Amino acid sequence: MGQRVLERSPAARRVFEEASEAVGMNLTKLCLEGPPERLTATENAQPAIVTCSVACLAMLEEQGLQPAAVAGHSVGEFSALVAARVLTLSAAVRAVRKRGELMASVTAPGGMLAVMGLDEARVRELCQTASQGGILAVALHNSPGQFVLSGEHAALERFKQLALSSGARECVLLQVSHAFHSPLMGQILEEWRAVVAGIPLRMPRYPVVLNTTARPVKTLVCIRRSMVDQLICPVLWMQCVQALVGMGVTRVLEVGDSKVVSSLARRTEPSLQTATVDAFL
């Protein structure tokens, strides 16, 4: 993760150095050498993802690029808040490190399931049927034909069978440790709320569209509320993309070590021009 940008950009290397110092962990070594099981542990993955994204941002800023607006998917929202100058890099990586530690501490068993090929109304209907009094929620609204469910294992299995019999193209269990973005994260909600209350924030330099509302942020109170709510509420990525288009955005650049989010944006709004940082390396 991040190898090419680290090789090519002094600014990116400085980002990794600052983030490593902030969390007391060599993120450069972790991202380049792993091992994979350590890198993918959520308490490590979250600061690594944010650091890699901000390193890519630093490289782009070296080349004179500036955003018209920003948004981030799930933990990527913290990277977007750094891009908008709401958070410092150090504050962001410390926050997501703690967020990851808290998430990893959740004892309630659960998982996540991606479903492709059903519309939102049908997914919601099947979710309600499959829950049967248990915990099951639509956690990620990725694109018009792709949603992710989060909840108890038995409810996910019931949903999978219902979805496939209802014409879903594919259902895939995600390799995650917990039921993120669901009420099962409620166990750590108050502790995370206390952490968020202590994070220093500034008003954004650029518009930020938030995952929990799919609207441009108006106040710092809204940002703090979204940071907390995102733990148990769905990521409205599809709606965020639609909001950006409504604001006049015509081009989306994915800032990070992935091509997934820009692909989801293009599926949501085919008129968008999309690119990744590979074009600038």
Token digits for 18?
């600052």
Q: How many CB atoms lie within 10 A of CB 169?
A: 12
Residue 150 designated active-site: no
Whole-angstrom CA distances from 246 to 49, 103, 185, 236, 250 are 28, 34, 32, 15, 10
Cα–Cα distance measured from residue 161 to residue 156, given in angstroms and rounded to the nearest whole number: 9
Residue bearing tokens 């703690």: 98
* Amino acid letter, residue 5: V
Cα–Cα distance measured from residue 37 to residue 74, given in angstroms and rounded to the nearest whole number: 21
DSSP 59-98: HHHHTT---S-B--STTHHHHHHHHTTSS-HHHHHHHHHH
Under 8 Å between Cβ of 146 and 116 = yes
Instruction: Tell me which of 79, 181, 226, 262 is the catalytic residue.
Output: 181
Residue 74 designated active-site: yes
Cα–Cα distance measured from residue 179 to residue 136, given in angstroms and rounded to the nearest whole number: 9
List, by residue number, the catalytic residues: 74, 181
